[in-house]
Chains A and B, each alone.
Chain A
Amino acid sequence: MTDDVILQVKDLKAYFKLDEGLLKAVDGVSFDLRKGETLGIVGESGSGKSVTNLAIMKLIPSPPGHIAGGEVVFMGDDILKMPDDGIRKIRGNKISMIFQDPMTCLNPFLKISTQMIETIVLHQGLDKAAAKAKAVEMLKLAGIPAPEKRIDQYPHQFSGGMRQRVMIAMALSCEPEILIADEPTTALDVTIQAQILELINELSERLGTAVILITHSLGVVAGMCDSICVMYAGRIVERGTADEIFSDPKHPYTQGLIKSVPRLDKVSTQRLYSIPGQPPNVINLPDCCPFFPRCERAMDVCKTKYPKVAELGDKRTVACWLYGEGK
């Protein structure tokens, strides 16, 4: 089983030094990703899901940020210890990313062809003509009609959904081992979202790419992911397969989150459950359970110590004093 693991994140910490104090955006995140797996990372804004993935690629802006500890083992090597040019060989090649807003990720002054060919020439050592042919093929795979013509257009000539398709084509053009998709459909409409998710699913399956999907939408992870990490205030509070998380959530935060989303398939006139209070400010967070002020089942111990991560089975963990030996 374990040789399937292509990415291992161990106790990753990314801190930002701000005027107001130390912001522990990611504080001890561990997970592993297996070949071909789709892993969802869900959480609300500020929970550290995007920073986790920037840290994996060593893309934390420094200063003010720095990686305060941990390991990211990709195919046997720790990415965080690699020299810059070593990482550059991995970024965009073995691990690539797509972001929420495709317009800000594409250079508006360059044709799509220029932007796509650059990556392919750099990483795969093809000549320009071959790289262009490859780019056209990828655009076609990504469902862009008339790719031979469209490739010589500029980003503004594409619609939002089409731009996201270009981003996906670009990200997958070097057949990466891992695709990190950071809120890939948040800026898109529902029907376009369905198209793009379908595309990511289909292409990752065909190319055997593992996907890390970051989103705040529980609906999206439910349909797409094999396993799920739920993040809150910079830490993973619960981890399990998609079925486990949705049918038997353990952490009071996960339970509350699932209950607070209105569901299309269950017409209910009942009042929606809502988690009281607000997400905590993660600056100078004390070493307690960050969820305790909002938790219905908070105990005395929650106010003084961060819970130990309880192992509830294979890849099933929860960080809550209600479970494991803390109980």
Chain B
Amino acid sequence: MAENKNENLLEVSGLKMHFPYHSGGGKKGLIYAVDGVDLAIKKGETLGLVGESGCGKSTTLRAVAQLYRPTAGSVKLKGQELTTATNQEIMRARKDMQIVFQDPYASLNPRMTTRDIVSEPMRIFTKAKILSLTKTEIDERVEQLMERVGLSRFFKNRYPHEFSGGQRQRIGIARALALKPDLVLCDEPVSALDVSIQAQILNLFKDLQEEFGLTYMFIAHDLAVIQYISNRIAVMYLGVIVELSDSAELYKKPLHPYTQALLSAAPIPDPEVERKRQRIILTGDVPSPDKARTGCYFYDRCSKRMDKCANCVPKLKDAGSGHQVACFLYGD
């Protein structure tokens, strides 16, 4: 384990995902959902992706998982290029890369029992001759997994509707772990849960990471959750990463004006702290990602914009000790 601690499990560079759209009146165009994302995740690390709705964090995750085939760029898992891989190769790669989805109601088939849901990946991969597991082995593994995520094995013949939201998310996690993946892509896995249940699930993610040496790419829109779970955090805005840094550092010293506003907008559960805080209130909404950008993506809402920002796109640059920011206020 120790020797490959610094090895990148996942490397993403220049990732672009554009979707064509047709609207009324023959109007056609492209949605620039993800517009050039570079990131790398080390083995055993948690990279948090944070941003507002429509900033492209889920699209990034899906393009990494090859659920969408990216428009451009490269995605390398354990050194293997996925964007040019065949479907067969991608299926093999997915054994190492699984997803936990946001909505524990929509992501479990209501007509399958817990046993069927958790065992499905193993059955599929056995059928495809990638794994060779017997029926009893699969059954045993289902029981182990259920107990590991905190569900009694006696629940295995129950259907999703018999479980609460938190328990369903546990089923989703058990399914994601069934193939013993290295990388787990978590798409807002705690956003639909109540506060007291959210803490349980976050702790479960941390425990599982320690036990199985998992690597997470973790999406959330709640900044406090992201800070708790992540080693490093990437802040996204309109399809690009505007800041990427160590998680403690990001909260102590946010550099990008957008990150600063985002952090100051997040409520803190303490009235005394809240009274003393200075809020940066951003005006306006996130613009629609339906046009190619010629300047900084945050230009319209930025309080510190300069002339340069309108015409040049700032690149993600190192601002010291691995803290990267895409803003002309820093560097030259």
In the assembled complex, the Cα of A218 lies from the Cα of B224 at a distance in Å of 12
* A193 proximal to B (CB < 8 A): yes
A 239-275 contacts with B by CB, 8 A: 242-243, 246-247, 256-258, 260-265, 267-268, 271-275
In the assembled complex, the Cα of A258 lies from the Cα of B228 at a distance in Å of 15
* A69 proximal to B (CB < 8 A): no
- Give the distance to chain B from A88, nearest Cβ to Cβ, in Å: 35
In the bound complex, residues from chain B placing their C-beta under 8 Å from that of A86 are: none
Select the residue from B166, B202, B271 with max chain A CB neighbours within 10 A.
B271
- Give the distance to chain A from B6, nearest Cβ to Cβ, in Å: 21
Asked whether A267 lies within 8 Å of B248 as measured between CB atoms, the reply is yes
* A104 proximal to B (CB < 8 A): no
Instruction: Tell whether A198 pairs with B281 under 8 Å between CB atoms, given A45-B194, A272-B228.
Output: yes
The stretch of A124-132, A184-192, A312-320 that contacts the partner chain: A184-192
The stretch of B9-17, B21-29, B259-267 that contacts the partner chain: B259-267
In the bound complex, residues from chain A placing their C-beta under 8 Å from that of B206 are: 271
Q: Hey, what's the 0/1 contact readout for B276-314 against A, CB within 8 Å counting as 1?
A: 000101110110000000000000000000000000000
The stretch of A74-82, A149-157, A219-227 that contacts the partner chain: A219-227
In the assembled complex, the Cα of A221 lies from the Cα of B282 at a distance in Å of 21
- Give the distance to chain B from A90, nearest Cβ to Cβ, in Å: 31
Give the residue name and chain of the B residue nearest to A199 (CB).
Answer: B281
In the assembled complex, the Cα of A14 lies from the Cα of B268 at a distance in Å of 33
* A285 proximal to B (CB < 8 A): no
* A147 proximal to B (CB < 8 A): no
- Give the distance to chain A from B263, nearest Cβ to Cβ, in Å: 7
Q: How large is the interface on B (under 10, 10 to 19, 20 to 34, 35 or more residues)?
A: 35 or more
In the assembled complex, the Cα of A278 lies from the Cα of B200 at a distance in Å of 10
In the assembled complex, the Cα of A218 lies from the Cα of B203 at a distance in Å of 19
Instruction: Tell whether A191 pairs with B262 under 8 Å between CB atoms, given A222-B271, A223-B274, A267-B248.
Output: yes
In the bound complex, residues from chain B placing their C-beta under 8 Å from that of A189 are: 52-53, 221, 286
Instruction: Tell whether A198 pairs with B279 under 8 Å between CB atoms, given A222-B274, A262-B227, A264-B227.
Output: yes
In the bound complex, residues from chain B placing their C-beta under 8 Å from that of A271 are: 203, 206
B 48-90 contacts with A by CB, 8 A: 52-53
Asked whether A243 lies within 8 Å of B271 as measured between CB atoms, the reply is yes
* B164 proximal to A (CB < 8 A): yes
Give the residue name and chain of the B residue nearest to A278 (CB).
Answer: B164
* B316 proximal to A (CB < 8 A): no
Asked whether A222 lies within 8 Å of B194 as measured between CB atoms, the reply is no
Asked whether A275 lies within 8 Å of B196 as measured between CB atoms, the reply is yes
Asked whether B271 lies within 8 Å of A223 as measured between CB atoms, the reply is yes
In the bound complex, residues from chain B placing their C-beta under 8 Å from that of A263 are: 224, 268-270
- Give the distance to chain B from A130, nearest Cβ to Cβ, in Å: 31
Asked whether B268 lies within 8 Å of A262 as measured between CB atoms, the reply is no
In the bound complex, residues from chain B placing their C-beta under 8 Å from that of A262 are: 199, 202, 224-225, 227-228
In the bound complex, residues from chain B placing their C-beta under 8 Å from that of A260 are: 195-196, 198-199
Give the residue name and chain of the A residue nearest to B269 (CB).
Answer: A218
In the bound complex, residues from chain B placing their C-beta under 8 Å from that of A119 are: none
A 201-224 contacts with B by CB, 8 A: 216-223
Asked whether B196 lies within 8 Å of A223 as measured between CB atoms, the reply is no
Asked whether A222 lies within 8 Å of B202 as measured between CB atoms, the reply is no
Instruction: Tell whether A278 pairs with B267 under 8 Å between CB atoms, given A191-B262, A264-B224.
Output: no
In the assembled complex, the Cα of A272 lies from the Cα of B286 at a distance in Å of 32
Known: A219-B266, A263-B270, A274-B203. 10 other contacts (CB 8 A): A162-B285, A194-B267, A194-B282, A195-B281, A218-B269, A220-B267, A243-B271, A261-B199, A263-B268, A264-B263
Q: Which residues of A contact B (CB under 8 A)?
A: 44-45, 159, 161-162, 189-195, 197-198, 216-223, 242-243, 246-247, 256-258, 260-265, 267-268, 271-276, 278-279
In the complex, 5 of the A-B residue pairs with CB atoms within 8 angstroms, ordered by the A residue number, are A195-B281, A219-B267, A257-B196, A268-B228, A274-B199
Q: What 7 A-B pairs are tightest by C-beta distance, nearest first? A: A219-B267, A274-B199, A260-B199, A194-B265, A262-B228, A218-B269, A189-B52
